[in-house]
Amino acid sequence: MRGTDVYDVVVVGGGPGGEVAAARTARAGLTTVLVEKEAVGGECSYRACVPSKALLRPGAVRNAARAVDGARQAVTGPLDPAAVLARRDRFTGRGDDTGQADWLQSAGVTLVRGHGRLDGERRVTVTGADGGVRTLYARNAVVLAPGTRPALPPVPGIDRVGAWTSREATTADAVPDRLVVIGGGIVACESATAWSSLGASVTLLVRDRALLTDWEPCAGEEVTRGLSALGVTVRFGVSATRVRRDPATGEAIVDTDDGSSLVCDEVLAAVGHRPRTDDLGLDTVGLPSGETLPVDDTCRVPLPHGDWLYAVGDANGRAPLTHMAKYQARACAAAIAERAAGRRPAAGPHQPWSAAADRTAVPQAVFTHPEIARVGLTERAAREAGLPVRVVQYRTDEVVGAALHADGYRGLATLVVDEARQVVVGCTLTGPMATELIHTATVAVVGEVPLDRLWHAVPAFPTVSEVWLRLLEAYGL
């Protein structure tokens, strides 16, 4: 095609999902080009998962040391904010994506810088920083992996005061003396944990009556307890009604619906993200803009004119987490390779081109104090799905390995069991090591391991993992 660069696969978006999809299709022998306007690696690498965990880890290490007598006496000082921020910057490179771009090249993927959008069937136009436009054509597939942008709540003035979003919460160069966080989800809880550990006075405004309302209630209760222990003020049932800055002092003022006003240095809006599907040219192929895209288990978008469009990660809304975007990308790439070879990917949840687990076995790890983690269904979700479930709980602190791990260890393990099939369909853990323990539950859920077989997976003594034995004993085995 004159004036058009032709590839087998065109990937729009260079975040975790786009990177993996591109590398996998290239490895399958398909010529692949990836289009990225900002930094290769996406939000996760520079403004989300990686920097947030780098900010949270020093406080977690200090808390872990202080939880063991003998080590406690050696840890008496506060964190060094400058050192913590510098360590974070070593992980993010302050947005420099040279390493990620080099990795793409080594994987055989062509990188094109610019904003990509669909321009009809199999066509993507790329507008570069200089305004020049380049057209790419995909013989086999276009994969949309545009990621998300932080959302702002409909609070008057919040768009005019320089409010933080998740981006500023993970990239700020100084610790605010006073921080007001609007929200009660994961970003709000982790941000409150990180910045309070660095010395900020943090107030959390939570519209609901609990934190993390789509989790098991015990998770929100434990995080609330942990935040309070860190000195965070958590105000439930309170919403911001207006935000403004005092022009004389530069201080932010947050008015609330209970009649109070909070004076602070920074305001963080942690109310979620929106998929970047509003400027992708979806209308040129008959799809509505600004919405998540429906996909099948191979991440293919159903179109009346061919099997060529795919969407992974936040764009399809099935499981908007970094690790699940990568999982979807692996399945998507395998399906593209199958179809490119003239084969029809066989149906089935355990095929390499199926991302079916993103409906039933999505693991989540939250690095608050204490840590919480979950996989699969909550009790409420399982019952709403019509499953005959039984819930089993066991206090992790009653396990010898947990008591050895930390003095005053506090944690709770919750299993949701499908009584008809005698398999685990959900698990929630709270307490130290919860984020590292959850993968065992993920294997049990994905593998649909019968409880009487899981009984023979004997946990080593004395480890925190012995909670699995105790849970099965509590169930009656």
pLDDT at 347: 80
pLDDT (tens, 9 = 90+) of the chain, 477 residues, equals 556 899 999 999 999 999 999 999 999 999 999 999 999 999 999 999 999 999 999 999 999 999 999 999 999 999 999 999 999 999 999 999 999 999 999 999 999 999 999 999 999 999 999 999 999 999 999 999 999 999 999 999 999 999 999 999 999 999 999 999 999 999 999 999 999 999 999 999 999 999 999 999 999 999 999 999 999 999 999 999 999 999 999 999 999 999 999 999 999 999 999 999 999 999 999 999 998 999 999 999 999 878 899 999 999 999 999 999 999 999 999 999 999 999 998 888 889 999 999 989 999 999 999 999 999 999 999 999 999 999 999 999 999 999 999 999 999 999 999 999 999 999 999 999 999 999 999 999 999 999 999 999 999 999 999 999 999 999 999
- d(CA 45, CA 55) in angstroms, rounded, equals 13
Alpha helices in 185-321 (DSSP H): 186-197, 217-229
CA distances from 183 to 152, 191, 203, 266, 417 (A): 11, 10, 10, 14, 31
Report pLDDT digits (tens) over 419-438: 999 999 999 999 999 999 99
Kindly give, in sequence order, each residue whose CB lies less than 8 Å from that of residue 140, ignoring residues fewer than 6 positions away. Answer: 8, 9, 30, 308, 336, 339, 340
88 DSSP assignment: H
Kindly give, in sequence order, each residue whose CB lies less than 8 Å from that of residue 223, ignoring residues fewer than 6 positions away. Answer: 189, 211, 212, 366, 368, 370, 372
For residue 45, how far is the Cα from the chain centroid? 12
Kindly give, in sequence order, each residue whose CB lies less than 8 Å from that of residue 28, ignoring residues fewer than 6 positions away. Answer: 333, 334, 336, 337, 340
Helix-strand-coil split of the chain, %, nearest 5: 35, 25, 40
| Residue written as token pair 């909670």 | 467
- d(CA 266, CA 259) in angstroms, rounded, equals 20
**What are the φ and ψ backbone dihedral angles of 421, each rounded to 5 degrees?**
-100, -10
Asked if 283 and 292 count as a contact pair (C-beta separation under 8 A), the reply is: no
pLDDT at 459: 97
**What are the φ and ψ backbone dihedral angles of 375, each rounded to 5 degrees?**
-150, 150
370-475: CATH architecture: 2-Layer Sandwich (3.30)
Which pair of tokens denotes residue 243? Answer: 């935000």
pLDDT at 2: 54
DSSP 132-191: -EEEEEEEEEEEE---EEE---S-TTTTTTT-B-HHHHHH-SS--SEEEEE--SHHHHHH
Which pair of tokens denotes residue 283? Answer: 């209308």
- d(CA 176, CA 172) in angstroms, rounded, equals 9
Q: Is 21 helix (H, G, I), strand (E, B) or coil?
A: helix
Q: Which of 427, 372, 416 is nearest to 185 (CA)?
A: 372
Q: Which of 425, 273, 432, 463 is nearest to 365 (CA)?
A: 432
Examine domains 4-41+97-149+274-357 and 166-271 and report if their fold is the same: yes
Asked if 165 and 152 count as a contact pair (C-beta separation under 8 A), the reply is: yes
Give the gyration radius of the chain's Cα atoms. Answer: 24
3-state secondary structure 308-333: CEEECHHHCCCCCCHHHHHHHHHHHH
Indicate the class that CATH gives domain 166-271: alpha beta
Domains of the chain, by residue range, sit at 4-41+97-149+274-357, 166-271, 370-475
CA distances from 208 to 191, 213, 267, 369, 385 (A): 18, 8, 19, 20, 24
- DSSP H or E segment with residue 83: helix 81-92
- d(CA 258, CA 102) in angstroms, rounded, equals 53
CA distances from 251 to 172, 188, 262 (A): 17, 21, 10
pLDDT at 415: 98
CA distance from start to end of the chain: 67
pLDDT at 27: 97
**What are the φ and ψ backbone dihedral angles of 333, each rounded to 5 degrees?**
-65, -40
Instruction: Please state the CATH superfamily assignment of the domain spanning residues 4-41+97-149+274-357 in this structure.
Output: FAD/NAD(P)-binding domain (3.50.50.60)
CA distances from 398 to 36, 70, 225, 378, 417 (A): 50, 22, 19, 23, 22
